[in-house]
Every structure is written in C-alpha cells, then in structure tokens.
A and B are shown apart, each in its own frame.
Chain A
Amino acid sequence: MNTEALTLTLAVTLALTASGPNWASEASEAADPTAGARDALRAALQLRDVPLTVHASCRHAGPDPADRTIGDYLSGLLAAMEQPSNTVQARCEPGPGRHRTCTVWLKHRDDEERWAWGLAFEIDARHRPLWRSVRCLGAG
C-alpha cells in the first residue's frame, strides 16, 4: 500500500491512502500512488444524488435533519471539518469479480471531539460506482 499526504491551505490534511496495484488500474497506480485514492474520491462524488435510503446504515446518518442524499451527507461532514486536525483517507482494493471495493473516510480530532464517518462502495472496471453497494461507515 502506498500512502501520500497532501496539505491544503484550508488547514485540512488529506491523507490519501491508495491501495496496491490491481488489474483495473495497475499502470496508473504504478505511475501515481494516489491513483486508487482518486478513483475512490471521484466515485464518491459521483454518488452525490444517491438517496440516504440506499441502506439502513445511511438512513439517519446525515448531520442535518434535512439531508436526503450522499452529497448532503458528505457536504455536512466536510463543513464540520473547518478546524485543524482533519484527515481524508480514500482507497480502493480488489473486490468481488472485476470490481474494486472503495472506502472514503472523513476524520476529525479536536480535543474530546473525535469522529470518523465515511462511505464504502464498489466501483466497476470503468471506475464507475455501483450505487446499490453504498454503505455509510462510522461510529459515535
């Protein structure tokens, strides 16, 4: 597994953890160790209109009562990451068949405030997310 951290000007640290090379993107990941992480993040963004009713783990996971979609869910979490000590971890690993299983974690630490919420989903050989595979991760 290759890991590369990027520091952004908004005091948000993106720790992009890419999976090891696999058949789907072997060439690109050999050249760019963040390729798996970018696949995961790109696919997560494409899931923005998927309703939170997609799975029980997502149904009440939105940080605002009006949240209805994966885009709402991710936006609310990102908005809460305004202070330092934030981490984004994204990766894709070989999954079932020709698919890859991806996870995106948004993590925050600030004294007693500690949380980590995210998504798990599969992408196909063309890096497209399979919306029925979406699960919301997190505890607390």
Chain B
Amino acid sequence: MTLACSCTNLSTELLNSYLGKTIGDICPHGFSDADLNHCAHFVCHVMNLAAGSVTCKGMANQAVAARIGVCIRVHELFAECPQVDEANSCSSDTFGDGRFVFVTRRNAVNLAAHSMTNVPKKHVGIGLGNTIWHYSNTQDRVVTTTPELFLYHYSGQTNGLFRGSFPDRCTPTRFGCGL
C-alpha cells in the first residue's frame, strides 16, 4: 500500500485508478450529494488541490479532520491555474503531460482577465495526452472521453475547450491515496 501511494507523477495508470468510481468512493468527507455537479470536486481530489472560497470539507457534515478539503467550483479552479489558454485544435498530444480541461460557453471565459463566469453550463476534467478523465453527471462515476466529444458536452451553445496548467502545490495521488 505504501508503494502504491508513493507515486506523485500524473500518469494514465494513476488516472485509470479512478475509473468507474463514484464521488462517494472518492471524497473522504462524504460530500456526495447526487444533485450537485462534482466535476471540479473530482479533479481536485485527484490533484489534492485546496482552493477557492469553499471546499468539500467545509461543506460536509462528516468532515474527516486528518484529510484535506478540495476545491469544488469550476470557475474558482480556473482562476487558480497559473496558465490558461484555449485549445483551438486537437492533436495526439493535446494536453501534453497534464492539464485541467474546461468546457463552457466561449464567452463565459475571459482569458486576458484569467476568469470564468459562474454560468451553469460548465465542466472540467483532467487531460493527459489526448484523453480526458472526468466525472460524468449522468453516470455518476468517473469516465474517459476525447477532446472532440468533450467539446460538445453541452448542446445549444457555442462551447470552447480551455486548458489550465496545474498549480505547483498540486499533488496527484492514486485512488485511495488522497492527502
């Protein structure tokens, strides 16, 4: 167990350890209300990223003192990324060695101001290479997809696909090894 939890490099193997897991499996604080959108919550548990005005620990009724609380809001996560840009085309390595990947209405993002408006239709996953791991709200579990499909996550609007680099304090951990 110690060896399995010692890896801190983001990898396909690490991300695949979350596949099929529900947010109830992932969040140690039991913040798993099925009515909520847990996309930011999921990626921030993978990266052990506490950020934003509220965390899952702060919102939970059964918080575990020894475990950290993580960011749960997409627009607050976007603002935390040191560098953000729009992915205007996809390749076999769209996300390189790892990026947060955001999809929302294009004009909800102001790249120059490094901000995203809290519009209802927005989603985030973790991209590595050309694959995105994200929390599916309809399936209530972690799944993978491609950037081409992720771009059409929401219908009825012109979406943009945005990338955000990981803050330095991010520490990716396998499922079951969170800080």
Are the C-beta atoms of A140 and B117 separated by less than 8 Å?
no
Q: Which residue of A lies closest to B39 (CB)?
A: A140
Given the complex of chains A and B, what is the CA–CA distance between A54 and B29 in angstroms? Answer: 27
User: Which residue of the partner chain, among A64, A108, A138, contacts B73 with CB atoms under 8 Å?
Assistant: A138
* Known contacts A112-B153, A139-B59; A60 and B75 CB within 8 A of each other: yes
0/1 string, A24-42, CB within 8 A of B gives 1: 0000000000000000000
Are the C-beta atoms of A63 and B117 separated by less than 8 Å?
yes
The bracket for how many chain B residues form the interface is: 20 to 34
Given the complex of chains A and B, what is the CA–CA distance between A108 and B154 in angstroms? Answer: 14
B41 contact set on A, CB distance < 8 A: 139-140
Say if the beta carbon of A56 comes within 8 Å of chain B.
Answer: yes
Closest beta carbon of chain A to B61's beta carbon, Å: 13
CB under 8 Å from chain A, chain B span 23-82: 33, 35-41, 53-54, 56, 59, 72-76, 79
CB under 8 Å from chain A, chain B span 115-169: 115, 117-123, 136-138, 153-154
Given the complex of chains A and B, what is the CA–CA distance between A62 and B76 in angstroms? Answer: 12
0/1 string, A56-74, CB within 8 A of B gives 1: 1101111111000000000
Given the complex of chains A and B, what is the CA–CA distance between A137 and B60 in angstroms? Answer: 12
* Known contacts A139-B40, A140-B39; A57 and B120 CB within 8 A of each other: no
Are the C-beta atoms of A64 and B136 separated by less than 8 Å?
no
User: Which residue of the partner chain, among A55, A65, A108, contacts B120 with CB atoms under 8 Å?
Assistant: A108
Q: Which residue of A lies closest to B122 (CB)?
A: A140
Are the C-beta atoms of A111 and B39 separated by less than 8 Å?
no
Say if the beta carbon of A77 comes within 8 Å of chain B.
Answer: yes
User: Which residue of the partner chain, among B37, B59, B117, contacts A115 with CB atoms under 8 Å?
Assistant: B37
Given the complex of chains A and B, what is the CA–CA distance between A139 and B42 in angstroms? Answer: 11
Q: Which residue of A lies closest to B124 (CB)?
A: A140
Given the complex of chains A and B, what is the CA–CA distance between A65 and B76 in angstroms? Answer: 14
Residues of A within 8 A of B (CB): 55-57, 59-65, 77, 80, 87, 105, 107-109, 111-117, 137-140
17 contacts between A and B (CB under 8 A): A56-B53, A59-B53, A60-B115, A62-B118, A63-B117, A63-B119, A107-B35, A112-B138, A112-B153, A114-B37, A137-B59, A138-B36, A138-B73, A139-B37, A139-B54, A139-B56, A140-B38
